[in-house]
Amino acid sequence: MKTLIRSALTLSAAVLISVAGAHATVRTEGGLSESKVGVSETYRLNVPTEKEISTTQIRLVIPAGVSVSRFQVTPGFTRTVTKNADGLVTEVVWKGRVAPMEYARFFLQARNPAQAGELVWKVYQTYSDGSVVAWDDADPAKGPAGRTTVK
């Protein structure tokens, strides 16, 4: 009986840790948080569903100075792109379904800014009940934005 309780506790602790670590993130394709000035880079947006209901929409705001050129096809998702007057992609919305215990990955190719600095990637994750989780640093402890150091 003692063993059973202990393993149940260990299991719930492990679940808590994995949920806490599972934020929506933007990294390079290789999983890095840094890249180089002016190069073409492949970025990976990773979105885990952290509730008991599905994620239905993901909105990504492209940092200023980043020039998106191409998207990898993501089966099961539709994509809507917003561009500014210069033809640069400023925002991307994917609609589809990421069920509980699943994560989705979206890949895009982009040219980095010509100047060194920090890219801040804001992500807004909508669930099937209409609730939105903002990964935009509005509350950095709960919803940190994705970051890439360009140097």
**Which structure tokens are listed for 24?**
């929506």
Contact 44, 29 (CB under 8 A): yes
b/e code 113-131 from CB counts within 10 Å (16+ = b) = beeeeebbbbbbbbbeeee
Give least dist CB 123 to Cu ion, A: 11
Cβ 100 to Cu ion, closest distance in Å? Answer: 14
Which residue's CB comes closest to Cu ion?
23
Give the C-alpha separation, 150 to 66, whole Å: 11
Q: State residue 143 phi and psi, 5-degree precision.
A: -135, 70
**Closest CB 16 distance from Cu ion, rounded Å:** 11
Between 35 and 125, name the residue whose CB sits nearer to Cu ion. Answer: 125
The CA distance from 60 to 40, in Å, is 19
Nearer to Cu ion, 112 or 125 (CB): 125
Residue with Cβ nearer Cu ion (53 or 81):
53
Closest CA to 47 of 96, 98, 91, 104: 104
Smallest distance, Cu ion to C-beta of residue 127, A: 13
Given the complex with Cu ion, which of 71 and 103 has the nearer CB atom? Answer: 103
Is 22 or 120 the residue whose CB approaches Cu ion more closely?
A: 22
| Residue numbers at the binding site for Cu ion (CB under 5 A) | 22-23
Query: Shortest gap between Cβ of 48 and Cu ion (angstroms)?
Result: 7
